[in-house]
């Protein structure tokens, strides 16, 4: 069992757990992920590492409530435990001294971008970050991103905070005004798709994280099959980082939409059960 040492509600829909996991913390690197299970019969949830402290033996994960399993996780509190917390898994983000690196974080992608940006800056790169979300109530860790970047631009789709618009708008401006050596994007698939299309015009190498399509995290289930440059890869064992210019984004999007109805049904059932239990206390 893995004890939850701390719980924070970063936004109404985005939550943080700090977990006691010394073995994971000792080996963790930016870009890797863990598999979380609430109990021994629960769904396997892949979550990219948000932070860790090898000395304290703790690992920080950040997740958004989007379905039945993440809804169940929100019901846990500090002092509770997770049945399984396996990792670090996947290949770490390749970090080197490139020159200028632009990190693009979309929504909950802010969490994994933080250690990536920190590692890039530690290597001597100039790091610029674009943080985007649909609205102000989904913005978190702005201060942490600012602490590991030379420049931070915050955008919201609806203009409720920062600059109004999508992340590709300031990205185009940066790419058109200075030499950028690498772009790293983590967030919703649609965001990473258009970041990749934007950087392709400027011929800037671009790395994206395909964590969101994973299920079992070991390459056995085959659910995270992706087409990279016409070759079949598995996001969990060959990634999660891939060349954004080589991803078949249309195929990836179709695979992610395959079970939307079933996911919504499970989520609605969980909420209905909670409502019933609260009404009958």
- pLDDT at residue 49 tops 90: yes
pLDDT, tens digit, for every residue of 89-120?
A: 999 999 999 999 999 999 999 999 999 999 99
pTM of the model: 0.89
Q: What is the pLDDT of residue 278?
A: 63
Q: Is there a contact between 165 and 188 (Cβ–Cβ < 8 Å)?
A: no
**For 117-124, which contacts have Cβ atoms below 8 Å and span 24 or more sequence positions?**
117/145, 117/148, 117/149, 117/184, 118/30, 118/148, 119/29, 119/30, 119/93, 119/95, 120/95, 120/184, 121/148, 121/149, 121/150, 123/95, 123/96, 123/97, 124/97
Structurally, what CATH architecture does the domain formed by 100-256 represent? 3-Layer(aba) Sandwich (3.40)
pLDDT beyond 90 at 226 = no
pLDDT of residue 273: 62
Give yes or no for residue 169 having a pLDDT over 80.
Answer: yes
- Whole-number pLDDT of residue 260: 58
Confidence label for 249 from pLDDT (cuts 50, 70 and 90): confident
Quickly list DSSP for 14-58: EEEEEEE-HHHHHH--TT-EEEEESSTTSPPEEEE--EEETTTTE
The predicted-structure confidence for 256-279, as pLDDT tens digits, reads as follows: 665 556 666 565 666 666 665 666
CATH class entry, domain 2-89: mainly beta
User: What tens digit of pLDDT does each residue of 59-87 get?
Assistant: 999 998 887 788 888 889 999 999 999 98
Instruction: Look up residue 246 and give its DSSP letter.
Output: T
Domain assignments of the chain as residue spans, ordered by start: 2-89, 100-256
Residue 247, CA atoms < 13 Å, CB-side half-sphere: 30
CA–CA dist 179, 233 (Å, integer): 31
Is pLDDT of 44 > 70?
yes
Kindly write down the DSSP assignment for every residue of 211-242, as one continuous string. GGG-SSSSSSS-TTEEEETTEEEEHHHH-SEE
Checking if the pLDDT of 136 tops 90, the result is yes
């Amino acid at each position: 069992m893995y004890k939850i040492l701390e719980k924070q509600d970063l936004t109404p829909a985005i939550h943080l757990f700090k977990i006691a996991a010394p073995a994971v913390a000792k080996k963790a690197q930016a870009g890797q992920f863990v598999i979380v299970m609430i109990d021994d019969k629960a769904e396997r949830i892949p979550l990219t590492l948000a932070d860790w402290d090898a000395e304290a033996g703790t690992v920080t994960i950040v997740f958004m409530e989007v379905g039945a399993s993440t809804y169940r996780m929100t019901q846990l509190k500090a002092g509770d435990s997770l049945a399984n917390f396996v990792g670090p898994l996947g290949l770490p983000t390749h970090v080197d001294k490139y020159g200028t690196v632009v990190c693009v974080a979309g929504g909950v992608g802010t969490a994994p971008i933080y250690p990536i940006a920190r590692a890039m800056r530690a290597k001597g790169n100039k790091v610029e970050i674009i943080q985007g979300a649909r609205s102000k109530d989904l913005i978190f860790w702005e201060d942490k991103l600012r602490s590991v970047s030379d420049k931070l631009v915050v955008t919201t789709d609806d203009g409720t905070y920062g600059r109004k618009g999508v992340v590709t708008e300031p990205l185009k401006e940066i790419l058109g005004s200075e030499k950028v050596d690498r772009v790293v994007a983590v967030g919703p698939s649609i965001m990473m798709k258009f970041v990749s299309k934007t950087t392709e015009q400027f011929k800037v190498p671009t790395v994206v994280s395909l964590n969101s399509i994973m299920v079992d995290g070991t390459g056995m289930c085959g659910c995270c099959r992706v087409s990279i440059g016409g070759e079949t890869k598995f996001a969990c064992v060959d990634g999660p980082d891939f060349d954004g210019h080589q991803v078949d984004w249309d195929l990836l999007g179709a695979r992610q939409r395959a079970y939307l109805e079933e996911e919504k049904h499970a989520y609605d059932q969980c909420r209905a059960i909670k409502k019933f239990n609260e009404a009958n206390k």
